[in-house]
Structure 1
């Protein structure tokens, strides 16, 4: 979501600014849980010093809620469409402090997930690995074969793995460790939550192609901002530039449809997308809409629609079974 203008900061290295966006997302989720939008019993173990995190405004809470719930709905639908012989493999790029692995272990489809791999900067991986080792609520779900290696920058188990990878490198080298973890012939779901905007269009396309060229059954869910050529986009960029954060991957995506075209160009034949604005209006049952509306007073509905209208969840599949054609958010 649109971050508030912070005080100017200096970072010891260029990547520290990008890594700080994980704190933004994690703190926004903490706020949404605190205010009752989301249920997440695991985020408390992944984010330190919860009592120091301020509650975010309603606009941020609602955006975080819609983003999280729609992605979860898409993942559950994807799992439900798999046949009984399929063994699902999840790869989450830039996963950061995301708690989705643990939340999905509580859902019925968990038996289909045989591999869950997260990728991020070494510093973020080390922080998450430490949290997993420290808290039994996290480590028990990972399993008894949990091992932390390479100074804390690699976490391994038979199902859950976290790897330190710089995704901006040549995919054939950066993603090579995945080849020993993933099985061809079994479905792979690639998650990219606000990852591609921070890298060049060429790099993000190369990453997607790396998967589509190596695996016969690949799907992707990507969360991105788009259409930042207007006044909203100018303010957003200015706020991020104060923090030394650039968005090299955004200019090639002036429309929601352009995000779908990116997937088509990388070998995915079935694609779809929805803005957070439209998802908020169409993807939740009436009782849930009423519940969310009663949590906080929202004075600026027009501002909310403006912000949510610049974020899209895009998904697509390379799947000869035809299941991708039935993959819809509901």
Structure 2
């Protein structure tokens, strides 16, 4: 008889639970699309058996809509400034997951203003995304000619003329991450960093080093290469988790082995802009999703959304939206660079309206 076979126990995967949050976000967006909150013909390609997925509760659908509305508007206004400058711009989406923004931009009216789009995430996620892209004729067609699309690094990276999908750990030294981007990243063009629910899962030290790495890269390029591109950033994440609701949120996530170390330095809405200001950004602002829903969504859209589903949990919705925020900031180049657009005025514009739950 052969001796029993020894199998080394599987090592725990400390990042597995965080990677699963991308599936949650993709399913939430798919649900919001299916219920007609949002228009996004591309998300179904990134969700397995999309047509069989059950819808999410109205509270999640509304939250997903408000998040998308706020970020989409900021990105649109970033492109508007680039148009005023008569220059193309770049987007670097860090922790991009299953996001579809590249395809939405590249099939929209601003497509010619996009110079390059970068997505960085764990290799397990980028491999799945690269496979989904190659499998879908609709997604691949947007990238360009087949001969101009290449897969690299064992299938974890994908390159096209304007799109670059890269595998990387955002907690690594920023120099290593920037080395991945540098062959295609221009320090001359306005560059927008997107952090959608990613920094909150990192230590404050790691997230601070990441932002500072981009600041140093653009500053060094300005001194040595004549680069003078505007640097911008958008962060979407939860904050203020020391109240009773926040503690329940953290406890629920901890039950799924997800911790939120990045939330600790930001206990209030007023503290959120320091995310960028401490790195020398010219301006930074923050709004909660509750703020955006109440005052920054077109009243006609408010009316349309209100008829999609019955929403009974208004107080709970307000509580949840009050613990998520969008923070954005701009760092203007130093020196005597003359800019045509007022990048420091990058903002959301409020509407004079009220929504249910304000009274």
Query: Which bracket does the TM-score occupy, shorter chain normalised?
Result: over 0.9
Of 114-123 and 167-176, more deviation after overlay is shown by 167-176
Computing the radius of gyration from Cα coordinates, the structure with the larger value is 2
Q: Which residue of structure 1 lines up, in the alignment, with residue 110 of structure 2?
A: 109
Q: Distance in 2 between matches of 1:57 and 1:313?
A: 22
Find the aligned partners of 1:303 and 1:324 in 2 and give their Cα distance: 36
Residues 11 and 17, structure 1, Cα contact 8 Å, conserved in 2? no
CA distance in 2, matches of 1:194, 1:175: 21
| 2:280 corresponds to which of 255, 267, 274 | 267
Give the superposition deviation at 1:220.
0.4
Retained in 2: the 8 A contact 1:165–1:175? Answer: no
8 Å contact kept, 2:286–2:325:
yes
Counterpart of 1:180 in structure 2 is 183
Deviation for aligned residue 1:69: 1.3
- Paired with 2:266 and 2:85, the residues of 1 have a C-alpha distance of 37
Distance in 2 separating the partners of 1:327 and 1:212: 18
CA deviation after TM superposition for structure 1 residue 175, in Å: 2.8
Q: Which of 192, 205, 209 is the matching residue for 2:195?
A: 192
In structure 2, the partner of 1:236 is 249
1:41, CA displacement in angstroms? 0.4
Structure 1 residue corresponding to 2:213, chosen from 203, 207, 210:
210
Which residue of structure 2 aligns with residue 137 of structure 1? 138
Counterpart residue number, 2:28: 28
Please report the RMSD computed on the Cα atoms of aligned residues, expressed in angstroms: 1.4
**What's the offset of the Cα at 1:47?**
1.1
How far apart, CA to CA, are the structure 2 residues paired with 1:176 and 1:268? 23
The counterpart of 1:316, out of the listed 329, 333, 342, is: 329
Spell out, residue by residue over 1:226-278, the C-alpha distance to the aligned partner (whole angstroms, 9 max, x if none). Answer: 10001111111111111111111011100122110121001211111111001
Deviation for aligned residue 1:323? 2.1
Q: Please give the alpha-carbon distance, in whole angstroms, between the structure 2 residues aligned to 1:59 and 1:244.
A: 24
Q: Distance in 1 between matches of 2:186 and 2:40?
A: 30
* 182-191 vs 78-87, which moves further: 78-87
Match of 1:147 in 2: 150
Q: Distance in 2 between matches of 1:264 and 1:257?
A: 12
In the alignment, the residues of structure 2 paired with residue 78 and residue 304 of structure 1 have an alpha-carbon distance, to the nearest angstrom, of: 29
What is the aligned partner in structure 2 of residue 327 from structure 1? Answer: 346
SS in 1 for 2:311: coil
Confirm or deny: 8 A CA contact 1:316 1:324 kept in the other structure. no
Aligned to 1:258: 271
SS of 1:180's partner is coil
User: Is the 2:107–2:142 Cα contact (8 Å) retained in structure 1?
Assistant: no
> How far is the alpha carbon of 1:328 from its aligned partner?
1.1
- Could you tell me which residue of structure 2 aligns to residue 4 of structure 1? none
Q: Secondary structure at the match of 1:175?
A: helix
What TM-score, normalized by structure 1, do the two folds share? Answer: 0.94
Q: Contact between 2:202 and 2:261, CA under 8 Å: does it hold in 1?
A: yes
> What is the SS of the residue equivalent to 1:64?
helix
Deviations for 1:107-153, whole angstroms, at most 9, x for unmatched residues?
A: 21111101000000001001010111011110011111111112210
Q: TM-score, normalised by structure 2?
A: 0.87
Q: Compute the displacement of 1:84 (Å).
A: 4.3
Q: Distance in 2 between matches of 1:174 and 1:310?
A: 30
Runs of 4+ in 1 over 6 A off after TM superposition: none
Residue 14 of structure 1 aligns to a residue whose secondary structure is coil
Paired residues for 1:69-108 under 5 Å = 69-82=69-82, 83-108=84-109
Question: Secondary structure of 1:224's match?
Answer: strand
- Report 1 or 2 for greater relative contact order, CA contacts < 8 Å, sequence distance ≥ 6: 1
Asked whether the equivalents of residues 282 and 344 of structure 2 are also in contact (C-alpha less than 8 Å), the reply is no
The 2-side partners of 1:122 and 1:263 are apart by 27
Counterpart Cα distance in 1 of 2:133 and 2:202: 28
Q: Which residue is equivalent to 2:292?
A: 279
